[in-house]
Structure 1
């Protein structure tokens, strides 16, 4: 039984949510669970040739993009978490810290040997403390 479900979303890749969002909504309804969306922004390294405020506004931009995706997917009431860092590490940290008992992630088409299991999904599946449901593309 799930009480808290995480749906990682990459706002730049509709394969990360097009099939997974309806499944996540269905699972949340079935279990009566909370559904939360998470998006991870890669950490911006401050190089000497970049201005000090480089990347400012990135979290707000991603938050709005994810909220728009959820709104159009019939899930406007879903909470959104924006993290910064390594995708799989931030998903695993948040899942453990906030007590998620299910993660629903979409697969992505890849090259051999990872035809549909990309590196982030593979690491989440291998290391998550909770159930991980993979929605195949």
Structure 2
């Protein structure tokens, strides 16, 4: 039984959420669970020619994009977490730290040998402390 469900979303790729969001909403309704979304912004390497505040506002931009996706697809009011760093590490850290007991994550079309299991999904499935539902495209 799930009480807290985590849905990773990449706002730049609708395959990361179109089918997975529907499954996550169904699971949340079935179990009476809380649904949360997470989006991870890769860390920006500090280069000498970039200003110190380079990337400021990125978290708010991503939060608004993810919230618009949720609002427009029947998940208005869903809490959104914006993390920064390695995608799979941040998903795993948040899931463990905040006590999520289910992660719903979309697969992606890929090339051999990873037809539909990308590196982030593979690492989340392999290392998660909780159940992971893989929604195939």
Q: TM-score, normalised by structure 2?
A: 0.99
**Residues in 1 aligned to 2:50 and 2:70: alpha-carbon distance in whole angstroms:** 33
Give matches, 1:1-137, under 5 Å. Answer: 1-137=1-137
- Give 3-state SS (helix, strand or coil) of 1:133's partner: strand
What SS does the aligned partner of 1:114 have? coil
- 3-state DSSP of counterpart to 1:49: coil
Which string of whole-angstrom CA distances, capped at 9 and with x for unpartnered residues, describes residues 94-117 of structure 1?
000000000000000011100000
Q: Helix, strand or coil: the match of 2:18?
A: coil
In 2, distance between residues paired with 1:37 and 1:44? Answer: 22
Alpha-carbon RMSD across the aligned residues, in angstroms, is: 0.4
Note the residue ranges of structure 2 that are not aligned, 5 or more in a row.
Answer: none
Distance of 1:18 and 1:103 partners within structure 2: 15
Separation in 1 of the partners of 2:58 and 2:32?
Answer: 33
How many Å separate the matches in 2 of 1:48 and 1:25? 44
Which segments of structure 1 move beyond 3 Å, counting only runs of 4 or more? none
The whole-number CA distance in structure 2 between the counterparts of 1:97 and 1:60 is 22
